């Protein structure tokens, strides 16, 4: 008796489990079918909403054409601005070149004028020296420094045979047109300052005219006659 009751009870449990599983499977199948049905409807509705009308496509083409036209105009405008900018840049470069050329021409002209003036002064000096007869003093000038071998701070010397003394004699020679052995040196002395001096000289021999020659020191260039007076 107990064995039969147990078998029935076991079969009843199995049937309950099977029925539950079948119910679950059916429920899953129903859910899947419902999802498929609703998903299909939603896809059709979405496709219908996304498809643009023919007029909209035409409008887009028109807008696109308009946009292309605007873009072309903008490109032309940019090209025009670029050309204008290039023209301005070229104009500025040409102007700078012209200014540079003018400055170079002006500089060359100034240098030429200075060279011409120096050349004329040199020619005038050479002419005056050529016109000066030997033994005749140059009373008018102009005179130039006679040069120097001295260096450093200059100190006037009145000792015969020193470099400074010899250069004073050389300055007197340039005025008189004579060498030292052709002149009589009466006196070499100071003339109101350490960089000023004088020489009293005449042509060698008795009874000749004595000349008072004022000298002035030029740094790096030596003694320069600045005036000549007959005594």
- Residue 174 in any domain: the answer is yes
70 in a structural domain: no
Answer whether the bond into residue 142 is a cis peptide, omega within 30°: yes
Whether 65 maps to a domain, the answer reads: no
Mean pLDDT computed over 139-158 = 92
In a domain, 78, yes or no: no
Rounded CA-CA distance 19/78 in Å is: 81
Three-class DSSP category at 71: helix
Kindly state whether residue 118 falls inside one of the protein's structural domains: no
When the pLDDT of each residue in the chain is averaged and rounded to a whole number, the result is 78
What pLDDT shows up at residue 48?
52
Give me the residues paired with residue 203 across strands.
183
Distance, in Å, from the CA atom of 91 to the CA atom of 185, rounded to the nearest integer, reads 73
Residue 173 in any domain: the answer is: yes
Number of domains, the chain: 2
Residues 154-209 have pLDDT tens digits of 999 999 999 999 999 999 999 999 999 999 999 999 988 889 999 999 999 878 89
Query: 85 in a domain, yes or no?
Result: no
pLDDT for residue 180:
93
Q: Could you tell me the CA-to-CA distances from 92 to 23, 98, 106 in Å, in that order? A: 94, 10, 21
The whole domain housing 197 covers 135-230
Q: Is residue 64 part of a domain?
A: no
Residue 67 has pLDDT above 60, yes or no: no
Pairing of strands 183-190, 196-203: antiparallel
Which letter does DSSP use for residue 162 in this model? S
* pLDDT, tens digit (0-9, with 9 covering 90-100), for 9-62: 777 778 888 888 888 988 889 888 888 887 766 555 555 555 544 444 445 544
> Using CA atoms, how far apart are residues 161 and 168, in angstroms rounded to an integer?
11
Residues 77-126: pLDDT tens digits? 555 565 566 666 666 666 666 777 888 888 888 888 888 877 776 676 55
């Amino acid at each position: 008796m107990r064995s039969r009751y147990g078998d029935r009870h076991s079969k009843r449990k199995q049937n309950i489990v099977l029925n539950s599983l079948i119910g679950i499977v059916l429920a899953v199948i129903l859910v899947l079918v419902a999802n498929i049905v609703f998903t299909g409807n939603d896809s059709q509705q979405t496709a219908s909403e996304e498809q643009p009308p023919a007029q909209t496509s035409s409008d887009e083409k028109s807008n696109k054409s308009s946009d292309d036209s605007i873009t072309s105009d903008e490109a032309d405008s940019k090209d025009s601005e670029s050309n204008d900018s290039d023209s301005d840049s070229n104009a500025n470069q040409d102007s700078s070149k012209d200014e540079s050329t003018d400055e170079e021409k002006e500089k060359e002209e100034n240098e030429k004028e200075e060279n011409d003036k120096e050349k004329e002064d040199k020619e005038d000096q050479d002419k005056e020296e050529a016109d000066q007869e030997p033994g005749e003093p140059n009373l008018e000038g102009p005179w130039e420094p006679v040069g120097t071998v001295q260096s450093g701070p200059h100190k006037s010397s009145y000792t015969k045979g020193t470099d400074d003394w010899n250069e004073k004699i050389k300055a007197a020679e340039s005025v008189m047109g004579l060498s030292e052995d052709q002149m009589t040196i009466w006196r070499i002395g100071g003339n109101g300052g350490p960089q000023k001096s004088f020489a009293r000289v005449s042509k060698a021999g008795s009874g000749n005219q004595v000349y008072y020659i004022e000298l002035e020191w030029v740094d790096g260039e030596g003694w320069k006659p600045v005036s000549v007076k007959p005594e």
